[in-house]
Amino acid sequence: MAERARRAAEVLGAGGAPVRFLRSVYVPEDDTCFLLYEAPAEDIVAAALARAGLRAGRLATTLAAAEAPPERTCATAAAAENNRGSTGG
């Protein structure tokens, strides 16, 4: 999956689209794979996913921890922990 995502981004990038595949993160506990891209807009990422034959359950903009305001980082971590506890995981 990650290799297809990387190749699709390279093809689009070679065609002039400002997109770059950064990495994938697999969470086995949730059977979830996150694909991280660098692009100026979500529609460009959606095009890369479509080219790779992949479907995203959700697209979201992210910030590196150093760029996020501290209160947002803490709130996000707390929300994730609360959600995890409520699902029994």
Tokens linked to 14:
């070679």
**CA gap 33, 9 in Å, rounded:** 17
Residues whose CB is less than 8 angstroms from the CB of residue 12 and which lie 6 or more positions away in sequence, other chains included: 19, 44, 47, 48, 51
pLDDT at 66 over 50: yes
pLDDT of residue 47: 94
Q: Considering only 29-33, 46-50, 78-82, which range has the smallest mean pLDDT?
A: 78-82
**CA gap 2, 85 in Å, rounded:** 30
Which of 1, 15, 18, 5 is CA-nearest to residue 51?
5
Provide mean pLDDT across the span 54-77: 69
What's the CATH number for 2-62?
3.30.70.3090
- pTM for the whole thing? 0.68
